[in-house]
Amino acid sequence: MTEPVYRGRFAPSPTGPLHFGSLVTALASYLEARHHGGQWLVRIEDLDPLRDSRRAATLICDSLRAHGLMSDEPIRFQSQRHHTYETAIAHLFEARRAYRCHCSRKQLEENGGHHPQLCRERSLPADGRPHAIRFALQEQTARWHDDLLGAQVQRLRAELDDPVIRRKEGFYAYQLAVVVDDIDQRITHVVRGSDLLPVTAHQQQICLALGHTPPNWLHIPVIRNRQGQKLSKQTHAPALDDARPERNLWQALAALNQSPPASLQTASAARILAWAGDHWRRNRVHPEPGTHQLR
């Protein structure tokens, strides 16, 4: 069998149940994959035991299922993949693109982001002291194309912007794990919320440093509440009502500016998804953040 040319994914962090904003992102990535005749995977990014919960992960998976959004492969959990992240870090150390950092957040803040302990220059060996591991960015003005937002220009400053890839507490960081799993799962297209736009160029460099070509990107504007805040657990976004998937899907399509017909409001979730698959036009999605209101 030949590889499909399109493999997409939805990769939520299980900090709480699925809300309307995450449904919109999930639906957009699902429809892009279907539109391209590709595969769509679900990955639970449960890297932070202090913030993530098993219960939230279960609720998210249940909610996706209730809305007919089924992963084409078994759902992957990042909490099961620590060995792979460790291997990636070893590779980055070998390539001199990782270093140990002993600085506290306060020290970095007081030094305008520079490391008073000269962590990057000194490439210190492990000495038993707690430390974070950072990726050494190359100073660069990154230019890349977003499939919805068009040309992007992002300035990356070596040292000042070096992302943490393993935290002091020993947890692997999102910035590393997301890249490692996108590589490992052969993801060709990433569709996600525009709140992650500012970290995209960092992830492209990490991907290249691991010897791979970065995927294509498409960032969907985040959904905001009436106060203009991004829907999230922190802003107390209500959980989706899984008993009403039709209503939620219809509203998510409307938020994506796909103009679902009113007659579809009473259809089953399966029919709404089938309609959406046939009529999906990504260029109709409004590119400006903050233009959608939760109904």
Q: Does 12 bind ligand GLU (CB under 6 A)?
A: yes
CA neighbor of 188 nearest in space, from 220, 224, 218? 218
Stretch that binds ligand GLU, among 7-15, 49-57, 164-172, 285-293 (CB under 6 A): 7-15
- Residue 10 φ then ψ, to 5°: -125, 125
Q: Which is nearer to ligand GLU, 159 or 182 (CB)?
A: 182
What is the 3 state secondary structure string of 79-134? Answer: HHCHHHHHHHHHHHHHCCCEEEECCCHHHHHHCCCCCCCCHHHHCCCCCCCCCEEE
Q: Which of 6, 7, 8, 11 lies at the binding interface for ligand GLU (CB under 6 A)?
A: 11
Minimum separation from the CB atom of position 11 to ligand GLU (A) = 4
Minimum separation from the CB atom of position 259 to ligand GLU (A) = 26
CB 57 within 8 A of CB 75: no
Q: Does 13 bind ligand GLU (CB under 6 A)?
A: yes
CB 244 within 8 A of CB 23: no
Cα separation values, 183 from 58, 178, 188, Å = 25, 9, 9
Binding mask 141-170 for ligand GLU (x = CB under 6 A): ------------------------------
Three-state DSSP state, 228:
coil
Q: Which is nearer to ligand GLU, 209 or 272 (CB)?
A: 209
- Residue 230 φ then ψ, to 5°: -60, 135
Q: Which is nearer to ligand GLU, 117 or 235 (CB)?
A: 235
Q: Which is nearer to ligand GLU, 119 or 256 (CB)?
A: 256
Binding mask 189-228 for ligand GLU (x = CB under 6 A): ---x---x--------------------------------
Pairing between β-strand 189-193 and β-strand 216-220 as defined by DSSP bridges:
parallel
Closest-by-Cβ residue to ligand GLU is 192
Q: Which two tokens stand for residue 207?
A: 């991907």
Q: Which is nearer to ligand GLU, 160 or 196 (CB)?
A: 196
Q: Does 45 bind ligand GLU (CB under 6 A)?
A: yes
Minimum separation from the CB atom of position 118 to ligand GLU (A) = 32
Q: Which two tokens stand for residue 271?
A: 């029919």
Q: 55: which residues sit within 8 A by CB, 6+ positions away? A: none
CB 121 within 8 A of CB 114: no
Q: Which two tokens stand for residue 191?
A: 């569709």
Q: Which is nearer to ligand GLU, 11 or 253 (CB)?
A: 11
CB 132 within 8 A of CB 99: no
For residue 71, the 8-state DSSP code is -
Stretch that binds ligand GLU, among 5-13, 116-124, 206-214, 259-267 (CB under 6 A): 5-13
Residues in the interface with ligand GLU (CB under 6 A) total 7
Binding site for ligand GLU (CB under 6 A): 11-13, 45, 178, 192, 196
